[in-house]
Structure 1
Amino acid sequence: MDRNIFVLGIDEFNLQQLRAIRNADNYQFHSLLSFDEVKAHGTYPFQSILDHARDRLEGFAGRIDAIVGYWDFPVTSIVPVLCRELGLPSPSVESVACCEHKYWSRLEQQRLLPDMVPGFASVDPFDADAAAKVELDFPFWLKPVKGTDSLLGFRIHDRAELDDALSKIREGIVHIAEAFDTFLAHVQLPKAMAETSGRYCIAEKLIKGRQCTVSGYVYRGKARVYGIIDSINYPNGMSFQRYQYPSRLPKAVKARLKEASITLMEGIGYDQAAFNIEYFYDEGADTISLLEVNPRISQSHGHLYEQVDGRPNHQIMVELALGEEPCVPRRQGPFGCAAEFHLRKFEDATVEQVPSDAQLREIKRDNPGTFIDIAVEPGMQLSDMMEQDSYSYDIAHIFTAAHDQHELLEKYDRIVEALPLKLGDVQAAGS
């Protein structure tokens, strides 16, 4: 009998990944709200999304075997709430909230991995004396305790930048803060978190080095790491350029990353789900610093794992949600390495032309192992795009694979050169 798996925030790209997992013929994937319904409007109506999801589940005549999601908030937070209500395998809402709330997460990281946590402090941006109360020395990062895609994250070098960032945060934080507070109402919060609402921010000392993401899962209380992916920035040091798998970090460093990840996830009581943790490795000091914890698979890594290991990591997510121990393939794919590149523009512009579906198919045909997702449309002004970092505009995602890194980078350059993507300046668009 087919097993019914409901996907919160389903989209076509990830549905293709789900259909590529082991035993996919035995699963029926159902839409539990589309991507547009949960993420595409730049707002986060947590309660409305939760109520609509409940209605669709209640209206389903068959057996519900699992609920999964691979997007950031609010998807990551709604899934465990629904699973708790239906008695389905899932991490506790408290362990998910601990990962999602940057300040709470730092407190637990400091308890379990004190040598890997940078200096940090909570900041109330609505406090008239907020800037004066930040005791960290410049420079530091300032970001909401709940954010997505680096939204409202600022690198602060002096008091003027701090005042400006606080002003922008006060103006833009409310829509996600209200939604996050609605989620936190479902959580038994520790006393240390009682006053730190979704409207708070966290200030964190800068960390440096080679960035990477550790992918793992916890099954019946035991954590396991199944992959490490390098995260590489553009030369500005703040805008993300690509994920690359497998990681090129030294073997001994990978062993330390695995041990730290297991200690943390078992220590916070996270269970029956996948996770990914972002770190920095400073080669000169031989130190590891933890950036953040995400209580989900990284859906953008699925294509990488499929090309190198033979199956997308969506398989791990599904099998855990069904209460099963995951089957993790290794090095069974057609390529030796793979990457997801973020093609960015660093100045505002107007989109004049994007590739047609036929042109994208031709590029993919000429470059096996490639998938291209264009994030812009003709007539769009880049500054109107939602959920961008504070320094650039993410206009396309290019997934590709090769036998080694040299071939991979050459292949990416050929793909970008072949893309008929044309941008014009803003003044020209208005003339």
Structure 2
Amino acid sequence: MNTSSRSPEEKNIFVIGLDESNEEVMRRLPGADRYRFHPLLSPEELQQGEIQIVELMEKAQSHLDAFDGPIDAIVSYWDFPSSAMVAMLCEKYGLPGVSLEAVLKCEHKYWSRLEQAKVIDELPPFGIVDLEQDEPRPPDGVDYPMWLKPVKSFSSELAFHVADESEFEKAVAEIRAGVERVGLPLDHVLGKVALPAEVADTGGAACLAEGELTGVQAATEGYVHKGQVTVYGVLDSINYPDSACFLRHQYPSQLPDDAVERMKEISVRVMEGIGFDNATFSIEFFCHPESGQACLLEISPRHSQSHAELFEYVDGVANHHIMVRLGLGEDPGGRRNRGDYQVAAKWYHRRFRDALVTRVPTRGEIADLEAEIPGVKIEVVPAKGTRLSDMPAQDSYSYELAHILVAAQTQREMEHKYRQCTEALRFDFEEE
């Protein structure tokens, strides 16, 4: 690439897993006229099939070494392996970034729980299920009902709610069959840092059991800059009725102020305890609005790209802005603008039975619907001819048909817009 025309103010920002929709959002960021966003590996390379972490790192470094201009930042809004690669590449190229150890203390769910337990009490009983045993058993102190999950996976892949011994055995069998896809590359990265004995013995291809949490789900988003933790947003996560599957993520939170403040306090304490710095984070919680109690579910060492446009709709600036500023070594602080809407949500239009997709909404149909309903953006997930169970990164109980972003002035208006969309979007299926 010829950089002779690059002005001194322009910054070359390499984005691991840059995709079209997020690039559009980032080009609307304040100051984006001085940013040049460069893709570094594709989302498909990072998330689908076997994760060849060594080859991915070599390919990324080769691309960066071949670049004939200054490299000003390396960032990403995806979790493992992208989050770990950002930490390793920033260290290699002398760029501002979070340490690999701090990233792994968030990404490895068991290590994360051990770190959390040092500074907070608001977490469930937890322990490792020994997958090497002929007949694995729940760890001491974790009773039914519980959740079983790999110590690292994508989205809610291989996460199972287990109510009895029979369900435990079925879940263990599925986790055993799939845990190495992410677990083995995680093992490779774990080998680059000093590990506590418990984590070293556990490794990356392991199964975590946790006591069931109850209440209303919510999440904080924040960042750490030079040791100062800032929580800039709290969102609600609403499930489908009688289901563990997300219906929508909504901003801002509608929970009482004391519950919101409690989540912020826990977030600050935990991220300080981990030693997390110079990066964004998001933390999921279960809350009891009446008492204000909050229990930490899990930590991600990155902000959520799923929330980017929600912040843009309501605050006027997407959360990617903070990622970019931190990547450049700049303070993300300053007043946020006001957006055009009071509330926004990312809705997950789902199907709960497997099938072959024989029709999806056309681009023209989607464009007409987005033009008809202000504050709406629709992304269809499956392609025609796809079997739903073949789609990557789905949870263990449902299949995503469409992501529908909806912004409005009131909760009622937002819900009405979503119903308009789902009634108009036509999917056809061939049943088993």
Give the alignment of 1:234-253 within 5 angstroms: 234-253=240-259
Question: Is 1:20 aligned to 2:45, yes or no?
Answer: no
Cα pair distance change 1:323/1:124, threshold 3 Å: same
Question: Is 1:101 aligned to 2:108, yes or no?
Answer: yes
Partner of 1:141: 147
Question: Is 1:50 aligned to 2:79, yes or no?
Answer: no
For the residues of structure 1 that align with 2:316 and 2:335, how far apart are their CA atoms? 7
Q: Deviations over 1:239-268 (max 9, x none)?
A: 111000010011111111111111111111
Contact 1:126 1:170 in 2 (8 A): no
SS at match of 2:152: coil
What displacement does 1:43 show?
A: 2.6
Partner of 1:177: 183
What displacement does 1:85 show?
A: 0.8
What displacement does 1:133 show?
A: 4.8
For the residues of structure 2 that align with 1:380 and 1:32, how far apart are their CA atoms? 28
- Which residue of 39, 46, 56 corresponds with 1:38? 46
Partner of 1:76: 83
Which amino acid in structure 1 is aligned with residue 363 of structure 2?
D
TM-score, normalised to structure 2's length?
Answer: 0.96
Percent of pairs identical after alignment? 43
Q: Deviations over 1:387-431 (max 9, x none)?
A: 2111111121001100011100000000111112222313xxxxx
Which amino acid in structure 1 is aligned with residue 394 of structure 2?
Q
What displacement does 1:99 show?
A: 0.1
For the residues of structure 1 that align with 2:379 and 2:83, how far apart are their CA atoms? 23
How many pairs does the alignment contain? 424
User: Which sections of structure 1, spanning at least 5 residues, go unmatched?
Assistant: 427-431
- Which residue of 66, 75, 97 corresponds with 2:73? 66
Which amino acid in structure 2 is aligned with residue 393 of structure 1?
Y
Which amino acid in structure 2 is aligned with residue 409 of structure 1?
E
Partner of 1:429: none
Over the residues paired in the alignment, what is the CA RMSD in angstroms?
1.3
For the residues of structure 1 that align with 2:303 and 2:139, how far apart are their CA atoms? 36
User: Which sections of structure 2, spanning at least 5 residues, go unmatched?
Assistant: 1-7
Contact 1:308 1:331 in 2 (8 A): no
For the residues of structure 2 that align with 1:128 and 1:193, how far apart are their CA atoms? 22
What displacement does 1:107 show?
A: 0.8
Which amino acid in structure 1 is aligned with residue 387 of structure 2?
Q
Question: Is 1:224 aligned to 2:230, yes or no?
Answer: yes
Question: Is 1:165 aligned to 2:149, yes or no?
Answer: no
SS at match of 2:41: strand
Contact 2:138 2:209 in 1 (8 A): no
Partner of 1:123: 129
What displacement does 1:37 show?
A: 2.0
- Which residue of 351, 354, 363 corresponds with 1:345? 351
TM-score, normalised to structure 1's length?
Answer: 0.96
Which amino acid in structure 2 is aligned with residue 156 of structure 1?
V
Which amino acid in structure 2 is aligned with residue 23 of structure 1?
G
- Which residue of 251, 260, 270 corresponds with 1:264? 270
Partner of 1:85: 92
Q: Give the stretch that moved more between structures: 331-340 or 214-223.
A: 331-340
What displacement does 1:161 show?
A: 1.1
